[in-house]
Amino acid sequence: MTNPPRSIFRKDAVRRYLEGREKSILPRLVSPRTFIYLWFLLGLLGMSSIIAWFTKVPMYASGKAIIVRSSNQRIVVATFFEPQHLSSLRKTKKLFLNFADRGARTAAIITVQPEIFSPDTIQKRFAIAQITRPSAIAIAQLEPIDKNLPASAYLGSVGHAQAEVGSQRLISLLPLIGQFFEQ
């Protein structure tokens, strides 16, 4: 009987090698510290998503504001908005007005006209030609901006108006994914 060929490796080394091959060892791609940071970032992303889902931000309609009447220190402003905002204008009580040389102001809405007016009707009723589209009209009262000027000095001033017409979720403002959360 012949003896098997003698190995150049020790028996103990061969045994450990074979045991090591049987264990599955995953490569260490991420250090434990980085792993903790990544979990922290994932939690932060989750919390900010929840906050963005439940937080609502106001939506504003923009339009033109023209001072159409003034008497006894009372200034009346006609504001002209896109027709689709008519139903929302009835629910709001406050306008944000900005006249270029007079600064930004808030004004209380006195009335909202119940129908949409054509540019012809607007010109006949308010004697202004700046409006060239059908518009929803809200009338507001503005306090005098400068106490030294008479109210009639503001007549005909043109400015910018904004009215809060609703709200939307903050998450709907995010690029790419916001389109899936629009109301």
Confidence of residue 4 (pLDDT cuts 50, 70, 90): low
Task: Find the distance separating the first CA and the last CA of the chain, reported in whole Å.
Answer: 88
The token pair at 18 is 């074979």
Class of domain 57-171: mainly beta
Confidence of residue 99 (pLDDT cuts 50, 70, 90): confident
Distances (CA, A) of 92 to 41, 95, 110, 129: 40, 8, 11, 27
Whether the pLDDT of residue 71 is over 70: the answer is no
Whether the pLDDT of residue 180 is over 80: the answer is no
Up-side HSE of residue 174: CA atoms within 13 Å toward CB? 13
* pLDDT tens column, 14-56: 888 877 766 666 667 777 788 889 999 999 999 998 998 899 9
Average pLDDT, the chain: 80
Stronger pLDDT, 168 or 4, i.e. the higher one: 168
The pLDDT value recorded for residue 40 is 96
The token pair at 172 is 């709907």
The pLDDT value recorded for residue 109 is 85
CA distance 73 to 142: 9
The token pair at 132 is 């060239």
Phi and psi at 132, nearest 5°, equal: -120, 5
CA distance 97 to 105: 5
Domain boundaries, the chain: 57-171
* pLDDT tens column, 119-162: 888 888 877 777 888 888 888 887 766 666 666 667 777 888 89
**Residue 108: helix, strand or coil by DSSP?**
strand
Model confidence, pTM: 0.66
Whether the pLDDT of residue 106 is over 60: the answer is yes
Residue pair 137/117 in contact by the 8 Å Cβ criterion: yes
C-alpha angle 50-56-60 in degrees, rounded to nearest 5? 150
**Mean pLDDT across 77-84:** 88
Stronger pLDDT, 161 or 100, i.e. the higher one: 161
E strands, the chain, are: 56-71, 74-81, 94-99, 103-112, 136-142, 158-169
Whether the pLDDT of residue 1 is over 60: the answer is no
Q: Which residue is listed with tokens 């609703």?
A: 166
Stronger pLDDT, 119 or 70, i.e. the higher one: 119
